């Protein structure tokens, strides 16, 4: 049932990447528990604009959990207190009247803050450009039916492909490691015949880029898997390790 709640927000504000950040406290009243977290943030920003203040910058795009643009570290957890959802899918019914909500940007050296709650996640794009694709060579297009793929492989590949590149895994990790993201991208292609051909090269290139960009070394704590809105499995990391070590021992 819809309820109306009043909230106190502690929001990280930072005027640009070089500026020193700080927390600002705001009151937002009359929030419907049926609204989404980002709608509540919109209410905050309308309030700030009406007071002639600078609105809070935060990332969002699709608002339906498919693009991976929204972020926010809310009350101790990436994407907030609900499981398996992105921040845009988070409902205000997860909060109570009078509650204080602390909202921070992803914290990781490889994801520097751009402004307020926005962080620069281009490091992920760079990892993808390093090898997270299947090269398309010119020539005849093979008939899709001509390449049989086992159901189990197709399912696992699809599960890995559901990674939306949001970066919650990095934000949750005590080591600032991007292994869950990279392993999902490597796995999704390595399990299909089209992607299999370049699997070794891909694993080496993406891991090299990941290391170069300053992500940490995975120690298998599993915090990433818990916080991933898409339930990407930790066993993808084992597969990445396998692909990578195999490729290196081949050299």
Partner 1 sequence: MSNLLTASIGRKLLMSVSGLFLILFLFVHLILNSFLLLDGCMGFETGQLFNAGVHFMGTNPLIKIIEPTLALGFVVHIVYSLILTVQNMKARGPQAYASGKKTTGVEWASLNMLPLGIAILAFLIVHIFNFYMKMKGYIAWEGGEVEFPFFGSMATGENAYALVNETFKSLPLVLLYVVGSVALAFHLAHGFWSSFQTIGWNNPIWMPRLRVISNVVAIILGGGFTVIALAQHLFF
Residues that bind ligand SF4 (CB under 6 A): 163-169, 180-181, 184, 228-230, 232
Q: Binds 232, which of partner 1, ligand HEM, ligand SF4, none (CB < 5 to 8 A, cut-off by type)?
A: ligand SF4
What is the rounded distance in angstroms from the CA atom of residue 60 to the CA atom of residue 65?
10
Q: Smallest distance, Å, CB 162 to ligand SF4?
A: 7
Q: Binds 29, which of partner 1, ligand HEM, ligand SF4, none (CB < 5 to 8 A, cut-off by type)?
A: none
Residue 137: φ, ψ to 5°: -95, 145
Q: Which of 41, 65, 169, 207 binds ligand FES (CB under 6 A)?
A: 65
Q: Smallest distance, Å, CB 207 to partner 1?
A: 6
Check residue 36 for interaction with ligand FES (CB under 6 A).
no
* Closest to 101 measured CA to CA, from 243, 219, 6: 6
Task: Give me the count of residues in the chain.
Answer: 251
Check residue 91 for interaction with ligand FES (CB under 6 A).
no
Check residue 99 for interaction with ligand HEM (CB under 6 A).
no
22 SS3 class: strand
Which residues lie closer than 8 Å to 145 by C-beta, 6 or more apart?
none
* Closest to 227 measured CA to CA, from 118, 109, 91, 83: 83
Check residue 60 for interaction with ligand FES (CB under 6 A).
yes
Nearer to ligand SF4, 90 or 232 (CB): 232
- Region label for 73, one of left (φ > 0), alpha (ψ between -120 and 50) or beta (otherwise): beta
Q: Are 160 and 98 in contact (CB under 8 A)?
A: no
Q: Smallest distance, Å, CB 30 to partner 1?
A: 24
| Cβ neighbours around 78 below 10 Å, total | 27
Check residue 25 for interaction with ligand HEM (CB under 6 A).
no
Nearer to partner 1, 97 or 211 (CB): 211
Residue ranges that bind ligand FES, judged by CB under 6 A: 60-63, 65-70, 86-88, 164
């Amino acid at each position: 049932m819809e309820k109306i709640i009043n909230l106190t927000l502690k929001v990280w504000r930072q005027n640009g990447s070089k500026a020193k950040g700080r927390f600002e406290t705001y009151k937002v009243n009359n929030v419907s528990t049926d609204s989404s977290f980002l709608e509540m943030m919109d209410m905050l920003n309308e309030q700030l604009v009406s007071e002639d203040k600078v609105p809070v910058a935060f990332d969002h795009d699709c608002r339906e959990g498919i693009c991976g643009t929204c972020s926010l570290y809310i009350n101790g957890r990436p994407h907030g207190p609900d499981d398996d959802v992105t921040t845009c899918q988070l409902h205000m019914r997860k909060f109570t009247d009078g509650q204080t909500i602390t909202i921070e940007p992803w914290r990781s050296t490889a994801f520097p803050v751009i402004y307020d709650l926005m962080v620069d996640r281009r490091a992920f794009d760079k990892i993808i450009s390093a090898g997270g694709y299947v090269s398309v060579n010119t020539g005849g297009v093979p008939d899709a039916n001509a390449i049989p793929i086992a159901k189990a492989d197709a399912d696992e590949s699809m599960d890995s492909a559901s990674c939306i590149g949001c970066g919650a895994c990095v934000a949750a990790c005590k080591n600032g490691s991007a292994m869950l993201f990279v392993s999902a991208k490597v796995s999704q292609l390595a399990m299909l015949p089209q992607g299999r051909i370049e699997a070794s090269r891909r694993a080496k290139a993406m891991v090299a880029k990941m290391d170069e960009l300053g992500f940490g070394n995975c120690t298998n704590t599993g915090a990433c898997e818990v916080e991933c809105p898409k339930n990407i499995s930790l066993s993808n990391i084992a597969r990445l390790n396998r692909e990578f070590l195999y490729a290196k021992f081949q050299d």
